[in-house]
Amino acid sequence: GGLSGGVGLNTLRIGANVVSYFYLPFCAICIFRSIDEYVRILKFATFAFLPVAIYGIWQATMGYSGWEKDYLASGFTSIADPMNLDNTRPFSTVSSPGALAYSCGIMAMVCLFFSNQKGRVSLSDTYIEWRPKLISILFFVILFLGAFVTKSRTQIVVTLGIIPYFYLLGGFKRTIFAYAS
């Protein structure tokens, strides 16, 4: 037990990697020249991930196609047990169920954030053009369902953990509190 064993340090390493996803949508703002450029790439990404989420939902409900079963049975992937392919969780077009849960979950949270009128103003103190609220909520539902069908509990909890940060990163003092926490 404790931190002297490999399990304790491994748990800390995994925790650090997981928590880093909380800040991803907010830190990405720094690499773009303007808020408008950032929002345009987010709009594209949320749209581009819809088919990824839908395909993951398809895999969860309809199963895998023949060539996917062949690939999973080949041993070239670590996400499947060749002896128990039926228990392989959906991975859609990405590398693993966890990657699908993170990517769809984060895109779902972006849609949730921008479906709120206040969220569309808070980034730059000007109104940010986004999709109509109903479309944004529909995107949220599809993308979150794409994450949910993976049964990746940690990734789903992490993406839901982003919700308080919408509020916490909305002001200087709250941002300092968020980083300190």
**Cα 30 from Cα 94, distance rounded (Å):** 26
pLDDT at 162: 80
Which stretches in the chain have pLDDT values below 70? 1-22, 24-26, 28-29, 77-78, 80-87, 117-127, 169-171
pLDDT at 50: 96
Neighbours of 41 (CB within 10 A): 13
∠139-159-169 over CA atoms, to 5°?
Answer: 100
Tens of pLDDT, residue by residue over 62-104, are: 887 888 777 777 777 667 666 665 667 888 888 788 889 989 9
Cβ contact 64:72 at 8 Å = yes
pLDDT at 115: 83
- Note if the pTM is more than 0.85: no
